[in-house]
């Protein structure tokens, strides 16, 4: 069975997908990066290899996410693409006529505007964590509530309170103040969901024409309270794909498939790399006033990749 591997390495999670030639998801894995992307990639590949049957042949691979270059050189990726492209491709696979993609991950969020299957505009919020999954995790921990229960509690609210959602510090202070005033926990959580959606639309989505169909993906799409808040704010139905949490990896796998079909060959090294020793390092290049910080990765004792330079001086041949 021909299949394709996609890896999405983010700051919070590392997602791995194995997709058949026909587009069926054979295996998918969502693991916490925990600030150690190299270890997350290796353990994820080892786990996926153990889940696949012997008849599955990986014919190509792709990587995306903030750690896409690291993952790409490790696995021998056929394509290394940014998150915007990967998420847009994945959304189009499940909703071919999609016009707006809302994506909220662990530490960033983005909006992608598509017309006739082509990305025409996008915006990202990578400066502040307000409205992202990490902030919701933090508040769930503070309130001693499982994050999985956030959505259900928000939907049970009858009178949401207004929470300041422009900044994580102000939002947390406002939540504590509302608790001290005696508001119900469900109403506070619902108010937080509305605040996060309001912040997203006023910042990431500012000036963007949001048209239906609207697809919502990323880890935060698991929160029914956020979905309901988006539907109230936009007054359109929100579509959440079945594999909403690993859409970046799905897009990377699809892009790998398209690349291999064009070239007729793949650079994928195989799952054996999970047992090889890898290490990373960095240094500052003093060759010009740019002083680029160069990151490099070693496979055993051999440098297999470098990135971060503004010129070709440190390219690995």
65 with 122, same domain: the answer is: no
The pLDDT, as a whole number, for residue 131 is 61
Check pLDDT > 70 for residue 17: yes
Q: What is the domain range of residue 253?
A: 2-88+248-275
Return the percentage of the chain with pLDDT > 90, whole number: 49
The pLDDT, as a whole number, for residue 150 is 78
Please give, one letter per residue, the 3-state secondary structure of 47-92.
Answer: HHHHHCCCCCEEEEEEEECCCHHHHHHHHCCCEECCHHHHHHHHHH
Q: Which residues is 180 bridged to in the sheet?
A: none
Residue for token digits 């005696």?
182
pLDDT in tens, 263-288: 999 999 999 888 888 988 899 998 89
113 with 233, same domain: the answer is: yes
Q: Report how far residue 58's alpha carbon sits from residue 60's, in angstroms, rounded to the nearest whole number.
A: 6
101 with 233, same domain: the answer is: yes
103 with 225, same domain: the answer is: yes
- In the three-class reduction of DSSP (H, G, I as helix; E, B as strand; rest coil), residue 107 is classed as coil
Q: Report how far residue 75's alpha carbon sits from residue 167's, in angstroms, rounded to the nearest whole number.
A: 38
Q: Report how far residue 225's alpha carbon sits from residue 218's, in angstroms, rounded to the nearest whole number.
A: 14
- Read off the pLDDT band of 187 (50, 70, 90): confident
The pLDDT, as a whole number, for residue 114 is 96
Q: What is the CATH number of the domain that holds 41?
A: 3.30.420.40
The pLDDT, as a whole number, for residue 129 is 62
69 with 101, same domain: the answer is: no
Q: Report how far residue 130's alpha carbon sits from residue 215's, in angstroms, rounded to the nearest whole number.
A: 21
Task: Using alpha carbons, select from 183, 175, 82, 88 the residue that is nearest to residue 130.
Answer: 175
Question: Any idea what DSSP says for residue 139?
Answer: H
Burial of 30 (0-12, 13-18, 19+ CB in 10 A): middle
CA atoms within 13 A on the CB side of 107: 14
Task: Using alpha carbons, select from 298, 261, 245 the residue that is nearest to residue 104.
Answer: 245
201 with 271, same domain: the answer is: no
- Read off the pLDDT band of 200 (50, 70, 90): confident
The pLDDT, as a whole number, for residue 256 is 96
- CB proximity list for 170: less than 8 A, separation 6 or greater: 164
- CB proximity list for 129: less than 8 A, separation 6 or greater: 107, 135, 168
The pLDDT, as a whole number, for residue 139 is 77
Here the tokens at position 199 are 């912040």
Here the tokens at position 298 are 């070693």
125 with 180, same domain: the answer is: yes
- Read off the pLDDT band of 166 (50, 70, 90): low
Query: What are φ and ψ of residue 284, in 5° steps?
Result: -100, 125
Q: Regarding predicted confidence, which is higher, 24 or 308?
A: 24
How many folded domains does the chain comprise? 3
C-alpha pair distances (Å), 5 with each of 68, 142, 216 = 13, 37, 23
266 with 152, same domain: the answer is: no
Question: Among 46-60, 81-95, 126-140, 282-296, whose mean pLDDT is lowest?
Answer: 126-140
264 with 282, same domain: the answer is: no
Exposure string for 123-132, b = 16+ CB within 10 A, e = fewer: bebeebbbbb
Check pLDDT > 70 for residue 168: no
């Amino acid at each position: 069975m021909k299949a394709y591997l996609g890896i999405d390495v983010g700051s919070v999670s590392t997602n791995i997908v194995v997709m058949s030639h026909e587009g069926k998801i054979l295996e998918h894995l969502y693991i916490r990066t925990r600030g150690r992307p190299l270890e997350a990639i290796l353990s994820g590949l080892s786990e996926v290899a153990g889940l696949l049957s012997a008849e599955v042949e990986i014919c190509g691979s792709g990587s995306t996410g903030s750690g896409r270059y690291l993952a790409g050189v490790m696995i021998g990726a056929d394509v290394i693409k940014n998150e915007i492209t990967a998420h847009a491709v994945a959304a189009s696979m499940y909703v071919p006529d999609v016009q707006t993609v809302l994506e909220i991950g662990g530490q960033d969020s983005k909006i992608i505007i598509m017309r006739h299957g082509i990305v025409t505009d996008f915006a990202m919020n990578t400066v502040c964590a307000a409205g992202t999954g990490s902030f919701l995790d933090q508040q769930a921990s503070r309130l001693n509530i499982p994050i999985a229960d956030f959505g259900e509690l928000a939907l049970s609210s009858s009178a949401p309170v207004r929470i300041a959602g422009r900044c994580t510090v102000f939002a947390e202070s406002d939540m504590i103040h509302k608790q001290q005033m005696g508001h119900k926990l469900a109403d506070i959580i619902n108010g937080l969901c509305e605040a996060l959606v309001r912040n997203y639309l006023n910042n990431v989505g500012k000036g963007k024409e949001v048209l239906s169909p609207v697809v919502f993906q990323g880890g935060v799409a698991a929160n029914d309270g956020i979905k309901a808040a988006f539907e109230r704010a936009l007054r359109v139905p929100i579509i959440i794909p079945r594999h909403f949490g690993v859409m970046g990896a799905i897009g990377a796998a699809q892009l790998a498939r398209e690349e291999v079909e064009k070239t007729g060959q793949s650079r994928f090294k195989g799952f054996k790399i999970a047992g090889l020793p890898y290490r990373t390092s960095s240094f500052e290049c003093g060759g010009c006033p740019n002083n680029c910080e160069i990151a490099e990765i070693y496979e055993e004792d051999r440098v297999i990749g470098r990135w971060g330079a503004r010129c070709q001086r440190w390219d690995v041949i």
